[in-house]
Chain A
Amino acid sequence: MATIIIPTPLRKFTNNTARLQIREGTVGESIKELTTNFPDLKKHLLDETGGIRSFVNVFVGDEDIRDLQQEHTEVRADTVVSIIPAIAGGVRDQAIVLNNIKF
C-alpha cells in the first residue's frame, strides 16, 4: 500500500487522520479513492470538471505531479503522496484585512 499525507486543514474531513494507506495505481486513482472514502474532501481537492484544483499541489515523493505525468503519475507501494494546498496566513485576521484592503 502507498501512503497519502493529508494537510492539517483537511484532516477534519478524514477523522483527523494525517496519513492514509491507499492502493497502488495512479495519482488520479488515489485521489478518487480518497474522495470516495471521505466525500467531504471532494470540493476541496477537485474542481467542477473533476480535475485537481490549481491551488492544491500534489507531490509524489519530492516532485510536483505537474512535472511528472500529472494525474497519471504512478503510485507504487513505497510512494508517499503529499497534498499541499495554498495557505496565505502571516499577519492577522484575513477576514478583517479583506474588508479594509484597497486595490
Chain B
Amino acid sequence: MSVENIFTKEELARYNRHIIIPGFGMEAQLKLKAAKVLVIGSGGLGSPVLLYLAAAGVGTLGIVDFDVVDDSNLQRQVIFGVDSIGKPKVEAAKQRLEALNPHLKVILHSTHINSDNALDIIRDYDVVADGTDNFPTRYLVNDACLLLDKPNVYASIFQFDGQVSVFNYVDANGNRGPNYRDLYPTPPPPGLVPSCAEGGVLGVLPGIIGCMQASEVIKVITGVGETLSGRFFTFDALQFETRTFRIKKRDDNPVSGKNPTITELIDYEQFCGMRAVEEKPLKEVTVRELYDMQVKGEPYQLIDVREPHEYQIVNIGGELMPLSTISGHADDIAHDRKVVVHCKVGGRSAKAIRELEEKYGYNNLYNLKGGILAYIEEVDPQLTKY
C-alpha cells in the first residue's frame, strides 16, 4: 500500500515536520499512524500525553478515566477548559482531541480500571502510558502489562518531583527491560506517603513530565533512539536537577523473576495494605450532622489538622492543629465531649485520630466525612473551595 493510500493530503501536510526529520521520516510516521496507545488517567499527566500523541499522529488513542472534570483540575489538566467542568473526563478529552486532530480514533473506557477488567482493556493496545495516581493501580497496570507482554511507559509526580521510565520493553535485540516491581518491590504502607490532595503538585510539573512520557511512547512505537528502558529518570523542579539511574531486572520479582508466584492479577488494594486499614473504621460524622450540632448548640470541639496556609484560604472555625504537630496538642484536646476532627477531604484527619487514639487512648474523636470540601459543598457553598 502506498503512502498516499494511508495518509490523506492533509495528513501529509500536517506531519511534514516529522517526515523531514532525518532518522524519523515517513517510516516512523507510518508506525505512529498504525499504533494503538492506551493512556490510563486523563488528568495531570494524561493531559499532555494525550494532546501531544494526538498532535503527533498516533492513530488510535484509548483513554481510561472514571472521573468528571472539577474546577480544581484546571490548574494542571490542560486538556480541559472551563466548559468541561462537570463533564466526564473521557468525553471532554475526546472532544478536545478530535478538535486537535480529526484523523485519529479515540476509544473511551469510562470506568475504574481494576483486576476484573484490566486485561480486557489493555489487551488490544500496543503501548500503555500509565499516569494514574495511586499505588494499587500502579502495581495493577504493571502486572497486567507483564501478563499481556505490553510495554508500559511510566511517569509519576508529587509536589516538585517527577519520575519517568519505560517498563517491560523488549529492545531490537530481544532483551526485555525491568519493570515497576524491579524498581519498587513493595508499596509504602498507607498513610506514610502523603497524597497529592495533601501534598499538592506544581501545576506545570505534569506538563514537563507528561511530555517526556509522550516522547518515550513515540520512541517505543517507532523504535527511534534509545528508550528509558533499564533507566530511571528523576526531575526535581525546585533545584532544577535531573538524574538518571540504572535499574535492573531482579530474580526475586514475583511476576517476572525466576520463580514467579503471581501468574494472574491479584487484589491490589490488599497488596498495598489498604484493606487492613479499612477493616478498622473510624467513628465519623457527616457534614450535615456537624451542622445540626452547630445549630442546636451541642457541646463539641472542632479541630482542623490542615496546614496554616490552607487554614488561611478557608476555615470553618476549627482550632488549628496541623497533623504533623497533633501529638503535641494532646493537652488541648477534650476528653469530656465530642471532638470532630477535619482536614481537606478526610485523609489527614483520619491519621490524626488514629495517632491520638493509639497514643492517648481517646474514644471521643470523630472524623468529619469528606472534610471541609464536603462542608462547603453541602452546608456553606459561599466559602472558598481549593
A93 CA / B348 CA spacing, docked (Å): 13
| Residues B193 and A87 in contact, CB atoms below 8 Å apart | yes
- B207: A residues at CB distance < 8 A: none
- A64–B239 Cα distance when bound, in Å, is 22
Q: Nearest-CB distance from B228 to chain A (Å)?
A: 13
Is the CB of B284 closer than 8 A to any CB of chain A? Answer: no
Asked if B243 and A82 sit within 8 Å, CB to CB, the answer is: yes
Q: How many residues belonging to B are interface residues under a CB distance threshold of 8 Å?
A: 71
Pair B236/A8 contact, Cβ less than 8 Å? yes
Known: A9-B199, A57-B184. A91 touches B161 (CB 8 A): no
Q: Which residues of B contact A55 (CB under 8 A)?
A: 184, 186-188, 193
Q: Does B269 sit within 8 A of A, measured CB to CB?
A: yes
B23-63 residues with Cβ-Cβ distance < 8 A to A are 41-46
In the complex, per-residue mask of B123-146: 1 if CB is within 8 Å of any chain A CB, else 0: 000000011111111101000000
Contact (Cβ within 8 A) A89 B44: yes
- The yes or no answer to B148 lying at the interface (CB within 8 A) is no
Chain B residues contacting A57 (CB-CB under 8 Å) are 183-184, 245
Distance from A71 Cβ to chain B, minimum over Cβ atoms (Å): 16
| Nearest opposing residue in chain A for B192, CB measure | A44
Which of A20-28, A29-37, A95-103 is near enough to bind chain B? A95-103
| B241 CB → nearest A CB, Å | 8
A69 CB within 8 Å of chain B: no
Please, which residues of chain B bring their CB within 8 A of the CB of A63? 245-246
Residue of A nearest to B73 (CB): A92
Q: How far is the CB of B367 from chain A (nearest CB, A)?
A: 12
A51 within 8 A of B: no
The smallest beta-carbon distance between B36 and chain A, in angstroms, is: 21
- Give which listed residue, A12, A59, A87, contacts B245 with CB less than 8 A: A59
- With A64-B246, A86-B135 already in contact, 20 other A-B pairs whose C-beta atoms are closer than 8 Å: A7-B236, A53-B188, A55-B187, A63-B245, A67-B246, A84-B232, A86-B193, A87-B193, A90-B41, A90-B45, A90-B130, A90-B157, A92-B70, A92-B197, A95-B195, A95-B345, A98-B190, A98-B274, A101-B136, A101-B269
